[in-house]
Amino acid sequence: MTEEKEGMPVKQEIFLEAGVHIGTKIRTNDMKDYIFKRRDDGLYILDLRKSAERIMEAAKVVAEYKPEEVTVVASRVYSSNPASRFATLTGVNVIKGRYVPGTMTNIQYKKFIEPKLMIVCDPKGERQALVESKKTGVKVIAFCDSDNETKNVDLVVPVNNKGKRSLALVFYIMTRELMMAQGTIKSYDEFKYDISYFEQYVEEKEEKPEVQPPAEEKPEEKPGAKKEEKKEKKAGAKEEAKKPEEKPEPTKKPEKKPEKVKKPQPKELKKEEPKKEEKKAEKPKETKKDEPKEEKKKK
């Protein structure tokens, strides 16, 4: 891309496509000088000329400091990705995600920093960074939308700070200008990165595997072995848990069988035995009585 007329760092069409000029339905008094108009749908439109001028001015200010003296605060997802690209290419520092209170004021904090210049992507979400920058005397460049306040901000860059494409384009321009100032590239033609590099989050996933494979070769064996051991232990535990469940089942069944067999058998035997004895005893009585009668008759 080449510079266009009227001092625009990129074509005006690219600004419009990225939505850098699209504001919100709220306009603060601090941002009224940067508003071009209000659309019929209620959205405020930022002045693209002022946006382009301030982006270029911000890049010049950053170039006056050493990379290690500059810190970018990007709390939102859409700002953290292009901010990290900006940091890797230019050497500046970046704080992604939530800004921890005391980062610039608490000396005992492990990630304590003392920057000389701070770039804030959203004054609303990164209010604590603005408060601490004022206490420590750190200069602040802030990307401000139509609904932002500019308190504690030294340089206002009026842009859409909520759009993914918009933030990618802003960091694209600032990276290119800063690399030119640092002498990393001598012309825009040598800048080989496009806006999608700053926009797409997928590229972070592609970069990580390039560094991880050598470190992952050793630990891959250990966790694999541990998983197999855990599976074996779980399988053994399941088998042990099943065994005690099978044992009580056979013990209950034999308890019922002896009770049924023992009770009916002795009762039947006791009743039958006395009856047979009574019948046998009756027969001899009859024989004894008949014999004497016959003898008397013969006499």
Residue ranges of domains in the chain: 5-200, 248-298
Q: Residue 208: is its pLDDT beyond 60?
A: no
Average pLDDT, the chain: 77
Q: Cα separation of 157 and 53, whole Å? A: 9
pLDDT above 90 covers a percentage of the chain that reads 61
Q: Residue 148 has what pLDDT? A: 96
The residue that leads in pLDDT, 277 or 165, is: 165
Q: Residue 77 has what pLDDT? A: 84
At 85-111, the pLDDT tens digits run 999 999 999 999 899 999 999 999 999
- Over range 39-68, report the average pLDDT: 95
CA atoms within 13 A on the CB side of 113: 23
Q: Residue 93 has what pLDDT? A: 96
Tell me which CATH code domain 5-200 carries.
Answer: 3.40.50.10490
Q: Cα separation of 286 and 293, whole Å? A: 12
Residue 102, CA distances (Å) to 28, 73, 93, 105 in order: 29, 14, 17, 5
Residue 87, CA distances (Å) to 56, 90, 143, 244, 248 in order: 17, 5, 16, 63, 69
DSSP string, 225-263: HHHHHHHHHHHHHHHHHHHHHHSHHHHHHHHHHHHHHHT
Lowest mean pLDDT across 4-8, 71-75, 284-288 = 284-288
The DSSP call for residue 59 is: H
In sequence order, the 6+-apart residues with CB closer than 8 A to the CB of 125 are: 75, 76
At 110-151, the pLDDT tens digits run 999 999 999 999 999 999 999 999 999 999 999 999 999 999
In sequence order, the 6+-apart residues with CB closer than 8 A to the CB of 162 are: 24, 76, 78, 122, 145
Q: Residue 8 has what pLDDT? A: 83
Q: Residue 184: is its pLDDT beyond 80?
A: yes
Which band of pLDDT confidence, cut at 50, 70 and 90, is reported for residue 202?
very low
Lowest mean pLDDT across 13-22, 128-137, 276-285 = 276-285
Q: Which residues pair with 74 in a beta bridge?
A: 96
